[in-house]
Amino acid sequence: MKLTDILRAEHQIIGNALGALDGMVRAARDAAVVPAADVREFVRFCRSYTDGLHHVKEEELLFPALMEAGLPRDTGPIDCMLHEHDRGRELVRQIDQLASGVGAGDAAARAAFIKTATTLSQLLRAHIQKENEVLYEMAEQALGDERNQSLAAGLAFEQTRDRRARDVACAEALVHRWASANDSPPCLSAAQEAALAIATGR
């Protein structure tokens, strides 16, 4: 399996979790209660999976490989993607801080949550689209299949299967509770997830 295949599959799970976040925003707009525990669960998923599993692969494997292949670090797509990762982390931190107020029905916290969560969802969806359609295509050309596969084989820092399974289950539970059936694709199937875990050596 190629590194870009693994990253695209992870994007699918992240996109599913964003569908759940969109559902929380819809509820907040309708002045319905969004429990603090669910907001915190989304934050935990972002930190564990989106950052701790996915962005770390891009920042420590894919981007350095692209720089070796001649792409610049401080301009162009790599610089843009790194800035967007940082912006996403900051928005997640803000959402975490709003969780208690949102859960308590505080109007100001709810308004801030709607704005911040909408910004995060739009940012990450656009980020994923740029990576899928531009950066990963560029990587597949620049690295070639052999290098792309060897990068995937070298995922020594990959999280354990238990942690990955817990993160995916967390996303599935959030999707079940919050995402609209119309706008959320199904989570990565258990079989696909097992294939990913095998491909990454755990």
Q: Is the Cβ–Cβ distance between 49 and 196 less than 8 Å?
A: no
Structure tokens belonging to residue 90: 């900051």
Stretch that binds Fe ion, among 21-29, 103-111, 124-132, 178-186 (CB under 5 A): 124-132
Structure tokens belonging to residue 127: 């980020």
Q: Which is nearer to Fe ion, 80 or 165 (CB)?
A: 80
Q: Is the Cβ–Cβ distance between 7 and 136 less than 8 Å?
A: yes
**Would you state the torsion angle of the CA atoms of residues 73, 76, 77, 80, taken in this order, to the nearest 10 degrees?**
80
Residue of 22, 38, 131, 193 that binds Fe ion (CB under 5 A): 131
Could you say whether residue 63 binds Fe ion (CB under 5 A)? Answer: no
Q: Which of residues 138-177 bind Fe ion (CB under 5 A)?
A: none
| Neighbouring residues of 160: CB distance < 8 A, sequence distance ≥ 6 | 202
Could you say whether residue 22 binds Fe ion (CB under 5 A)? Answer: no
Encoded amino acid at 5, one letter: D
Q: Is the Cβ–Cβ distance between 116 and 98 less than 8 Å?
A: yes
Instruction: Please work out the total of residues on this chain that contact Fe ion, with binding judged by CB under 5 A.
Output: 3
Q: Which is nearer to Fe ion, 105 or 185 (CB)?
A: 185
Stretch that binds Fe ion, among 81-89, 104-112, 166-174, 177-185 (CB under 5 A): 81-89
Q: Which is nearer to Fe ion, 22 or 131 (CB)?
A: 131
Residues that bind Fe ion (CB under 5 A): 58, 81, 131
